[in-house]
Chains A and B, each alone.
Chain A
Amino acid sequence: MEEYRFRGTGTVITYTTIYSATEDFERLTPYNLAIIQLDEGPKLTGQVVCSPESMKIGMRVRPVFRILGKEGERGIIYYGTKFAPAEDAP
């Protein structure tokens, strides 16, 4: 096993905009969720931070560091990767 760091850039395979979410994500609605194929090949699921109207199958995205969730007002904050449009990403 060898650790490998992905560049994080990729292409949207399919997507949705979520209007009704679980309690943890309700404050974000509407938000975009996509299946993204990373340039190295593997696919994953992640949010894309842009307006619902600008989402397209085949659009290029790049990774952005964001808050993913919180355990209440005083609890632990989870950070992780979301994606942003990157038409100029190589």
Chain B
Amino acid sequence: MRPVSIIGVGCTRFGERWDSSLRDLVVETGIAAIEDAGVTGEAIDALYVGNMSGGRFVEQEHIGALIADYAGLSRLHIPSTRVEAACASGGLALREAFLAVASGYADIVIAAGVEKMTDVSSGVAADALAAAADREWECFFGATFPALYAMIARLHMRRYGTTREQLAQVAVKNHHHGHMNPIAQYHTEIKVEDVISSPLVADPLRVLDCSPITDGAAAVVLAPSDIASRYCDTPIRILASAQASDSLALHDRRDITTLDATVYAAKKAFAQARLTPQDIDVAEVHDCFTIGEILAIEDLGFFPKGEGGKATEEGRTSIGGDVAVNTSGGLKACGHPVGATGIKQAYEIVLQLRGEAGKRQVVDAEVGLTHNVGGSGGTALVHILSR
């Protein structure tokens, strides 16, 4: 395996993009990433795209060939592959691209992610997303995604004393970070009282505990590290790429308040990078619901089990704290176009490590981490990036 670097990045504005189709979003982000890397179409060896449910959201499958076509690459006949791992599809596309370059099989590879979610009603979107859970053993009995995370939250609160206000603080922090991010879906600051008085979705989770329905796309360009400086002044090295799986159904897990897929992916990633959680300056983690970020910062090893809520309340995960978590605004405020999220996380970390994150820049950020979860924890991906 040879070292791999990111030489270019692009990301669309996230939100209700009624002016853009799925293919428009991919073209917008693809052009941005290719221009940023300064590569030509002929140099590209392969494309990987994360997309959870084009079939349900816009009745379009075969997204691999579609994005190559609309990126103007169809005449070059470059292999283009769609990968799917529910909300971790983007992270998985990044890993597949990384493996293609690291193995020596390809040199310049693009990892993209896209989801166009606002063309359907919220009920249809909820059912499409519920397909990431166990259809026969969870959804058939009435489970929704917020419901699964709500059951995790209730048990976490019972076992560890995590409070309703601590959960709310995750959303408050991520909206604060997101309001400094030009591509974020929401630029509004919110207060703890706003979260705990918003309408119930699945008790104890409320509307402002949940990430929104979002349109968006992101792309990164990968190259072997030994030639990366030909394309880019500040290539960002991928020190580790790790993936782990667990039972699809939440009720079959060893422990309902721990995402073991995160624990295993993180252990593998830190071993590959020869680093510890304390070495991470900035992290993008999977806060599809506020409890998701609490689980993530515990299961990645930033804080001991059960202390994620307290650490958040004390500001230890804000910009300027022990580890800046979700400087983009996270899934909560930046938005969560499910297939694009894992790539947007890498985009944000690359900006932070290049020192190009504007008002939300983490001072002297050298090492960053991305953490992308599929479903309620059936898949987890962890990547560690370094300047």
Which residue of chain A is the closest to B158 with respect to CB atoms?
A57
Report yes or no: A16 in contact with B142, Cβ–Cβ below 8 A.
no
- Total A-B contacts with CB atoms under 8 angstroms apart: 95
The digit string for A41-66, where 1 denotes a CB below 8 A from any CB of B, is: 00111110000100001000000000
Report yes or no: A68 in contact with B141, Cβ–Cβ below 8 A.
yes
A70-87 contacts to B (CB < 8 Å)? 78, 80, 82
A31 to B203 Cα, complex, angstroms: 10
Could you say which residues of chain A place their CB within 8 Å of the CB of B146? 18, 20
Report yes or no: B201 in contact with A20, Cβ–Cβ below 8 A.
yes
Instruction: Give the contact stretch, choosing among B82-90, B119-127, B183-191.
Output: B119-127
The digit string for B144-160, where 1 denotes a CB below 8 A from any CB of A, is: 10110011101100100
Interface of chain B, helix or strand or loop or mixed?
A: helix
- Answer whether A68 and B140 are a contact pair too, CB < 8 Å, given A15-B151, A19-B200: yes
Report yes or no: A14 in contact with B256, Cβ–Cβ below 8 A.
yes
Could you say which residues of chain B place their CB within 8 Å of the CB of A18? 142, 144, 146-147, 201-202
Any A CB within 8 A of the CB of B143: yes
Could you say which residues of chain B place their CB within 8 Å of the CB of A46? 141
Report yes or no: A33 in contact with B158, Cβ–Cβ below 8 A.
no
Which of B138, B142, B256 contacts A13 (CB under 8 A)? Answer: B256
Which residue of chain A is the closest to B138 with respect to CB atoms?
A45
Q: Tell me the smallest distance from the CB of A37 to a CB of chain B, in Å.
A: 9
- Answer whether A23 and B124 are a contact pair too, CB < 8 Å, given A14-B152, A35-B256: yes
Report yes or no: A16 in contact with B137, Cβ–Cβ below 8 A.
no
The digit string for A12-38, where 1 denotes a CB below 8 A from any CB of B, is: 011111111111111010010111000
Report yes or no: A22 in contact with B144, Cβ–Cβ below 8 A.
yes
Could you say which residues of chain A place their CB within 8 Å of the CB of B123? 22-23, 26
- Interface footprint category on B: 20 to 34
Which of A15, A47, A57 contacts B141 (CB under 8 A)? Answer: A47
Report yes or no: B142 in contact with A23, Cβ–Cβ below 8 A.
no
Could you say which residues of chain B place their CB within 8 Å of the CB of A34? 151
Instruction: Give the contact stretch, choosing among B16-24, B58-66, B247-255, B344-352.
Output: B247-255
B110-126 contacts to A (CB < 8 Å)? 123-124, 126
A68 to B138 Cα, complex, angstroms: 12
Could you say which residues of chain B place their CB within 8 Å of the CB of A52? 203
B199-230 contacts to A (CB < 8 Å)? 199-205
Report yes or no: B140 in contact with A16, Cβ–Cβ below 8 A.
no
Which of B142, B200, B256 contacts A47 (CB under 8 A)? Answer: B142
Q: Which of A13, A19, A34, A78 has its CB near the most chain B CB atoms (within 10 A)?
A: A19
Which of B126, B143, B200, B252 contacts A33 (CB under 8 A)? Answer: B143
Report yes or no: A17 in contact with B202, Cβ–Cβ below 8 A.
yes
A23 to B122 Cα, complex, angstroms: 9
Could you say which residues of chain B place their CB within 8 Å of the CB of A45? 137-138, 141, 143, 249-251
29 CB contacts below 8 A, A to B, read: A13-B251, A14-B155, A16-B150, A16-B202, A16-B203, A16-B204, A17-B203, A18-B201, A19-B201, A20-B126, A21-B142, A22-B127, A22-B139, A23-B124, A23-B127, A24-B127, A26-B123, A33-B143, A33-B151, A35-B151, A43-B251, A43-B252, A45-B138, A45-B143, A47-B141, A57-B154, A57-B158, A68-B142, A80-B141
Residues of B within 8 A of A (CB): 123-124, 126-127, 130, 137-144, 146-147, 150-152, 154-155, 158, 199-205, 249-252, 256
